[in-house]
Amino acid sequence: MACWPGRFHHQGADFLDAGPQEPLFGALCHDHVQLVPQSFGLLDEAAVDRLRARHPATTFRLHANVRVLPQHRFADLAVFSSHLDWFSQAARLSRHLNAPAYSAHPGKRTDATLSQVLDNARRCEDLFGCPVAVEGMYPARLDDDLLSTWDEYQALLESPAAFAIDLSHVHILVTRSRRLELQLLHEMLGCDRCLEVHVSDNDGTSDQHRVCQRQPWWWPLLQVIHPAAVVFTEGNHRTAARQPPR
C-alpha cells in the first residue's frame, strides 16, 4: 500500500484490481499486500473485514506503525514497552487478518540498544503469534536510527531474529558509508530469516520511494533472495508520472 500513500486503506487496495505495473518489474502480483503508515485513516476491525471481503485472494499483513489507534503513534521496537497498547491492538488486527508476519522499524538509539530491540522483537512475536521482522534502516541526517550501519546489519544476521531488507535503504547506506558489503547482503538476502525484501528507488540521499524504472546496482541480488521471502514494492505510483527518468 506504500504505492498509494495518502489514500484510505480500502482505496489503495482497490487499485490492485486495475492490475498495477512498474517499468522495471512489470505486472505486480498482489498475493501479499502490506498495510502501511502512509495510508490515511484508522485501520480497525471493520476496515480489516472490508479489505478481506473485497480481496479474498490477498493475504494482508501490517507494517511498521500503521495507524491502529485513533491517535497516530510512532511505535517502534525500541519503545515497545511504553507503547504496549498500540502493539496489543496491532496484534489483534494482525491475528484478525491471519497475517503470516509483521515487520517493524527498530527505532532510535536514544530509546534502546540494538540488543534491547532484538529482545523486544521476541516479545512482539509472542504478542502477535507470528514472526516479526526487524527492518534494516540507513544513516539519516541526525544519525539516530538503529540498524543503520554495516556492523549493525552484521549483528542482525548473527542474531536469531527475523528481518526485512529494504534495498532502497541499503542504497542510502552504501552511498553514505562509501562501502558495499556485498557478501553480507548475499548472506542476509539468502537467509531463511529474511521474511521480506522492499524495493524502490532513490538518489542515495533520502528514502524517496520512487518507482524503479531502470535496473539499479542491486538488481542481480534479487536472484539470491530466499524463496520464502516476499518482495514488496514501495514505489510511489501517485508521483511516478512526475518522476524524472534515471
CATH number of the domain enclosing 162: 3.20.20.150
Mean pLDDT of 69-97: 97
Q: Is 246 part of a structural domain of the chain?
A: no
Whole-number pLDDT of residue 246: 56
Whether residue 243 is predicted with pLDDT greater than 70 in this model: the reply is no
Within a domain: residue 2? no
The answer to whether 136 and 103 are in contact (CB under 8 A) is no
Q: What are phi and psi of 128, to 5 degrees?
A: -80, -25
Could you give the CA distance from residue 216 to residue 108 in angstroms, rounded to a whole number? 29
Buried/exposed code over 232-243 (b: 16+ C-beta within 10 A; e: otherwise): bbbbbbeeeeee
Q: Which is higher by pLDDT, 241 or 238?
A: 238
Read off the pLDDT of each residue in 143-172 and give the average, rounded to a whole number: 97
Strand-strand pairing, 26-27 and 21-22: antiparallel
The answer to whether residue 141 scores a pLDDT higher than 80 is no
How confident is the model at residue 140, as a pLDDT?
86
Is residue 142 very low, low, confident or very high in pLDDT (cuts 50, 70, 90)?
confident
Radius of gyration from C-alpha coordinates of the chain: 17
The Cα–Cα gap between 161 and 77 comes to 13
Query: What pLDDT is attached to residue 204?
Result: 97
Burial of 55 (0-12, 13-18, 19+ CB in 10 A): middle
176 vs 142, residue with greater confidence: 176
Answer whether residue 1 is part of any domain: no
Q: Does the residue 4 lie in any domain?
A: no
Binned at pLDDT 50, 70 and 90, residue 181 comes out as: very high
Q: How many domains, the chain?
A: 1
Rounded Cα–Cα distance for residues 72 and 93 (Å)? 16
Tell me if 229 is assigned to some domain: yes
pLDDT, tens digit, 9 for 90 and up, residues 196-240 = 999 999 999 999 999 999 999 999 999 999 999 999 999 999 987
Q: Is residue 3 part of a domain?
A: no
Q: pLDDT at position 124, please? A: 98
Cell of 85: 497498547
Domain contains 60: yes
Distance CA 156, CA 16 (A): 33
Q: Encode 23-84 in three state secondary structure.
A: CCCEECCCCEEEECCCCECCCCHHHHHHHHHHCCCCEEEEECCCCCCCCCCCCCHHHCHHHH
Phi, psi of 152 (to 5 degrees): -70, -35
Mean per-residue pLDDT for 68-78? 95
Residue type, 71: Q
- In this predicted structure, the answer to whether residue 118 has a pLDDT above a threshold of 80 is yes
Among 105, 72, 106, smallest CA distance to 89 is for 72
* CB contact at 8 A, 51 and 13: yes
For residue 242, what pLDDT is reported? 63
pLDDT of residue 241: 60
Residue 72's domain comprises 9-241
Grid coordinates given for 19:
492490475
Q: What single letter denotes the amino acid at residue 243?
A: Q
Looking at residue 245, its pLDDT comes to 56
Measured distance CA(153)–CA(147) in Å, rounded:
6
pLDDT tens by residue, 40-51: 999 999 999 999
User: What pLDDT is stored for residue 240 in this prediction?
Assistant: 77
Whether residue 154 is contained in a domain is answered as yes
Q: What is the mean pLDDT of residues 73-102?
A: 97
Residues 6+ apart with CB under 8 A from 71: none
Helix (H) or strand (E) holding 16: none
In this prediction, residue 122 carries a pLDDT of 98
List Cβ neighbours of 223 (8 Å cut-off, separation of 6 or more): none
Report the C-alpha gap between 232 and 166 in whole angstroms.
Answer: 9
